[in-house]
């Protein structure tokens, strides 16, 4: 009987420890990236309301495309400055990161240039915001996790990129909110 009590107590301690470790590690990971989840929710909330305002689709497309174009220019401007700094660093790790940055920049530009002239609905224009925040959440957040940088200059570039990432997400949310505000304003006038 004493052996059974010891086994039961040991099992309870192990299970409790595992539960504590798991419950302590999951919220930390979620909390670290909660800002991206909040941004996704904010963008989806703002943009999901747009078509319900009854504003002409062409106006929605124009407003949305202009906002996304402004966002793209903002990101590309700051990203090009960081890429230029990376050019001066002779490191294979930074070269790999620079290639990734150029790919991100190209992907953003291609998305911005997607034509929706023949579209009857603003879905493609609105989709640019959705695709961007989803891509950031899945592919960009945590980009630095697998890199081990070998110099202060490299670390500085990574820190600048992290800052740009947060600024970019903030801007994307601002522009999505602005699109909703503009469309809502037009609906009140018409």
Structure tokens at 142: 């945590």
* 134 lies in the same domain as 59: yes
Would you state the pLDDT for residue 85?
Answer: 87
* 22 lies in the same domain as 41: no
* 99 lies in the same domain as 10: no
* 153 lies in the same domain as 127: yes
Q: What is the pLDDT of residues 116-171, one digit of tens each?
A: 777 888 889 999 999 999 888 887 777 666 666 667 777 888 888 888 989 999 99
Structure tokens at 112: 């911005």
* 65 lies in the same domain as 90: yes
The number of domains in the chain is 2
Q: What is the DSSP string of 19-41?
A: HHHHHHHHHHHHHHTHHHHHHHH
* 97 lies in the same domain as 181: yes
* 168 lies in the same domain as 75: yes
* 88 lies in the same domain as 16: no
Contacts of 131 (CB under 8 A, 6+ apart): 111
Helices assigned H by DSSP within 33-151? 34-50, 57-87, 92-112, 123-135
Q: What is the dihedral of CA 84, 87, 91, 97, to 10 degrees?
A: 50
Would you state the pLDDT for residue 162?
Answer: 84
pTM attached to this predicted model: 0.77
Cα 69 to Cα 57: distance, rounded to the nearest angstrom: 18
Would you state the pLDDT for residue 143?
Answer: 67
Would you state the pLDDT for residue 144?
Answer: 67
Would you state the pLDDT for residue 146?
Answer: 61
Contacts of 87 (CB under 8 A, 6+ apart): 98
* 113 lies in the same domain as 185: yes
* 55 lies in the same domain as 22: no
Cα 176 to Cα 190: distance, rounded to the nearest angstrom: 21
- Provide the 8-state DSSP code for 91: -
Contacts of 89 (CB under 8 A, 6+ apart): 151, 153, 154, 157
* 26 lies in the same domain as 40: no
Q: What is the dihedral of CA 25, 28, 34, 37, to 10 degrees?
A: -10
Map tokens 């034509």 to a residue. 115
Which domain, by its residues, includes 13? 1-32
Would you state the pLDDT for residue 149?
Answer: 64
Residue stretches of the chain with pLDDT short of 50: 1-29
CB 190 within 8 A of CB 53: no
CB 161 within 8 A of CB 82: yes
* 8 lies in the same domain as 46: no
Would you state the pLDDT for residue 110?
Answer: 92
């Amino acid at each position: 009987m004493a052996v059974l009590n010891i086994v039961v107590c040991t099992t309870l301690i192990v299970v409790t420890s595992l539960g504590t470790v798991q419950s302590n590690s999951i919220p930390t990971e979620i909390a670290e990236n909660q800002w991206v989840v909040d941004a996704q929710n904010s963008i989806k909330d703002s943009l999901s309301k747009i078509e319900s305002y009854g504003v002409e689709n062409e106006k929605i497309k124009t407003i949305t495309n202009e906002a996304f174009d402004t966002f793209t220019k903002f990101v590309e401007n700051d990203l090009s400055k960081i890429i230029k700094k990376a050019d001066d660093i002779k490191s294979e790790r930074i070269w790999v990161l620079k290639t990734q940055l150029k790919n991100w920049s190209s992907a953003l530009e291609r998305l911005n240039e997607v034509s929706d002239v023949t579209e009857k609905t603003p879905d493609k224009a609105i989709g640019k915001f959705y695709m961007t925040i989803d891509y950031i959440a899945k592919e960009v957040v945590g980009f630095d996790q697998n890199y081990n940088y070998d110099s202060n200059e490299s670390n500085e570039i990574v820190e600048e990129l992290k800052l740009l990432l947060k600024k970019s997400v903030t801007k994307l949310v601002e522009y999505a909110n602005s699109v909703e505000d503009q469309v809502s304003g037009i609906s009140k006038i018409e």
